[in-house]
Amino acid sequence: MSRNSVTNNIKFSRILIYIVLIIFAVYYLLPLYVMLVNSLKPLEEIRGGGMLYLPSVWTLDPWRAAWSSAQIGVDPSGLRPYFWNSIAMVVPAVLLSTVLGSLNGYVLTKWQFRGHGVVFGLLLLSCFIPFQIVLIPMAKLLGVFGLAGTTSGLVLVHLVYGVGFTTLFFRNYYAAFPTEIIKAAQIDGAGFFRIFWRVLLPSSGPIIVVSVIWQFTNIWNDFLFGASFADFDSTPITVALNNLVNSSTGVKEYNVHFAGAILAALPTLVVYIVSGRYFVRGLMAGAVKG
Amino acid sequence: MAKVTITDLYKNYGSVEVLKGINLHIEDGGFLVLVGPSGCGKSTLLNTIAGLEEITSGDIEIGKNSVAGLHPSKRNIAMVFQSYALYPNMTVSQNIGFGMEMKGIDKNEREISINKVAETLQISELLNRKPGQLSGGQRQRVAMGRAIVREPEVFLFDEPLSNLDAKLRIDMRTEIKRLHQRLGSTIIYVTHDQVEAMTLATKIAVLKDGCIQQFATPYEIYNNPSNMFVANFMGAPAMNLIEGIVVKKKKDIEFEMKNNKGDIISLPIDGVKGLENYIDKPVIFGIRPESINDLELSGKKSNKKMVEKEVEIDVVEPAGSDTYAIVEFGGKQVVTRLNGNSVVAAGEKVKLTFNLSQAVFFDIDTEERIR
């Protein structure tokens, strides 16, 4: 009797937990649902109200328009060129900042020099500098380097900003990596880069995933630097999306805007889905083993 | 194979002196054990020999050549680490072959050496596994394999057994000794376990606070400790150290101490060198547990060095082969080693034999041996 009521209680609380979780899941997924549903409707249907209804006429035209023919600024080019601009900026910026971060982490933990703590502290500080503060000095610097308005310039900006974070990730991960293994490799005759390449990097899978996801999401979603430093031929997709939605001529094509927004968000979504499960594991790996 | 000579070695970290003038010499094929409590500098000393840490001053010679300033890989040494330090991303065979790979030895030749070593250590069937799939004892073997395959002049072991469980540790200890006998190589071995030190070494160096307390054979260290630290550190259970006064009665010199009730107990200590200078002064009397036992005195009664005293047993700790009894003696808790078959109980009063031929005395201020 009493045991029955205990198990019933557990069952009841289980059901309650699931109900609450489902409500939250629906709540958070609702915006995505609205965007998806309305991006598949003709414009008249949206104007007629009923944002939450499924389309009565299904169409992919808004997607095609957003991708290749929508008016962005003065060009009817769609988001396509800007998408590739973003890719051309994100990929090198992510790779370079990850490589530099891991090298920094390696040196700061396994080849410590006098003042390594200060250097790490300063790198850490760079994580907290607000973007707005550096806009003008950065513009000046890009001008001096002749990189103003280029994709390379944007890569440099994001690299500089990203190295603080990636260094933090890798330093903490490598701090838990046994130093005796590095010593063993030294005795075996491996040099600085050989140890890094053959011993340390192959064991860094989880933290590389963390660094790549973090950097990819941040750089892909960046708006301020893109809006400030990019030219017509290097504008990233976030800025283009803004231009698409804000174009003041003609009617507001909400269905195209929705489709464009999803297109702009898609790559980060893909990165998460592909490597997300390593993300949590990677964050834990550095934390648990002291 | 080579001898190792260390002369006036100093090592500082900033203003902290970690090693303060170490002088050691180990002959070709010797087994030197560095032993001492945590933080005594023994691992630092080993690291400086390996070249993993720079020395502040002094010199280290391996064979006939000074290796000061030489890169670890050029010193002809191999090291086995406490954590085994296997490369986690490589298989056992890659782990063992990594050093040869770095030297640029070709693949076939590497295979031959790896297989030979694997056979010696009975790990042939593990060659394709990753370290994560091995047990502690297997990892230990692989770590030793990685050292042996280098065919070094000197092996360095940094507490290699301390991560193993008790049973395995004893097995591996025997195995290391067998390895030493077979390879005839010079070994320098760091441990904080004095039993390991006694069983393995041809020479032991006892360290404390960056100084060598005594550097001698295991027999010397055990029977003739040069100061109270060594006497206390080596041996399990530790040597009993009791405070008392040296007195001269007629011709004989005696050692007097007070028991808990305030009664004076005395032991005859004729013939101990140096004690004449300590008449009426306090000294520390040291005696090993096995020198206080319940053996029959028959036939040895005439021996002046064997003395019988009655003591009260406080605690009995049977250990199978022996029975350790803790008794009150001279105001101290004294450990005695009785026959394993002895039937004694706490609270009982028994007569025990003190073998004073092995007794040692220390100056109470300097803690140095009186001899």
C-beta separation of B179 from B122 below 8 A = no
Same-domain status, A101 and A10: no
Q: Spell out which residues of chain B touch residue A194, defining contact as CB-CB under 8 Å.
A: 102
Best of B52, B90, B96 to disrupt the A interface (most A CBs within 10 Å) is B52
Q: Using CB atoms, pick whichever of A184, A199, A203 lies closest to residue B79.
A: A184
Name the percent of chain B lying above pLDDT 70: 97
Distance CA A96, CA A161 (A): 12
CATH architecture of B4-233: 3-Layer(aba) Sandwich (3.40)
Q: What is the pLDDT of residues B52-64, one digit of tens each?
A: 888 899 889 888 8
pLDDT at position A283 is 56
pLDDT at A282 over 60: no
Q: Tell me the pLDDT band of A288, cut-offs 50, 70 and 90.
A: very low
Best of A173, A180, A187, A204 to disrupt the B interface (most B CBs within 10 Å) is A187
Same-domain status, A59 and A88: no
Domain count, chain A: 2
Distance CA B180, CA B166 (A): 21
B57 interface with A at CB cutoff 8 Å = no
For residue A90, what are the contacts with CB-CB under 8 A and spacing of at least 6? A216, A219, A220, A267
Q: Mean pLDDT over residues A65-76, rounded? A: 79
Determine the length of chain B.
371
Using CB atoms within 10 A of its CB, is residue A29 exposed (0-12), middle (13-18) or buried (19+)?
Answer: exposed
Same-domain status, A139 and A272: yes
Best of B87, B95, B159, B188 to disrupt the A interface (most A CBs within 10 Å) is B87
pLDDT at position A94 is 93
Average per-residue pLDDT for chain A: 85
Distance CA A213, CA A215 (A): 6
For residue A211, what are the contacts with CB-CB under 8 A and spacing of at least 6? A97, A98, A101, A102, A165, A166, A169, A170
B339 interface with A at CB cutoff 8 Å = no
- Residue A76 is assigned to a structural domain of this protein: no
pLDDT at A102 over 90: yes
- Residue A86 is assigned to a structural domain of this protein: yes
Delimit the domains of chain B by residue range: 4-233, 240-363
Give the H or E element holding residue B151.
none
Q: What is the pLDDT of residues B126-138, one digit of tens each?
A: 888 888 888 888 8
Same-domain status, A134 and A198: yes
Beta-bridge partners for B311: B350
Same-domain status, A35 and A166: no
- Residue A74 is assigned to a structural domain of this protein: no
Q: Mean pLDDT over residues B325-339, rounded? A: 89
Of A50-54, A244-248, B237-241, the one with minimum mean pLDDT is A244-248
B85 interface with A at CB cutoff 8 Å = yes
Distance CA A257, CA B72 (A): 64
Nearest residue of B to residue A205, measured between CA atoms? B89
pLDDT at B297 over 60: no
| Lookup: tokens for B73 | 């890989």
Average per-residue pLDDT for chain B: 87
C-beta separation of A62 from A70 below 8 A = no
pTM for this predicted structure: 0.78
The 10 Å CB-count burial string (b at 16+, else e) for A179-203 is bbbbbbbbbbbbeeebbbebbbbee
Q: What is the pLDDT of residues A22-32, one digit of tens each?
A: 999 999 999 98
Top CATH class of B240-363 equals mainly beta
A188 interface with B at CB cutoff 8 Å = yes
Q: What would the DSSP string read from start to end of B177-209?
A: HHHHHHH--EEEEEES-HHHHHHH-SEEEEEET
Q: Which residue range is the domain that position A9 belongs to?
A: 2-69
Distance CA B287, CA B307 (A): 13
pLDDT at B305 over 80: no
- Residue A75 is assigned to a structural domain of this protein: no
Q: What is the pLDDT of residues A111-134, one digit of tens each?
A: 888 888 898 899 888 888 888 888
Q: Spell out which residues of chain A touch residue B99, defining contact as CB-CB under 8 Å.
A: 187-189
Q: What is the pLDDT of residues B155-199, one digit of tens each?
A: 999 988 888 888 888 888 898 898 888 888 899 999 988 888 999
C-beta separation of B121 from B140 below 8 A = no
Closest Cα partner for A186 from A196, A195, A199?
A: A195
* ipTM, interface predicted TM-score of the complex: 0.79
Is A184 close to B85, i.e. CB distance below 8 A? yes
Same-domain status, A259 and A167: yes
pLDDT at position A1 is 52
Same-domain status, A252 and A119: yes
Identify the domain boundary among A69, A100, A128. A69
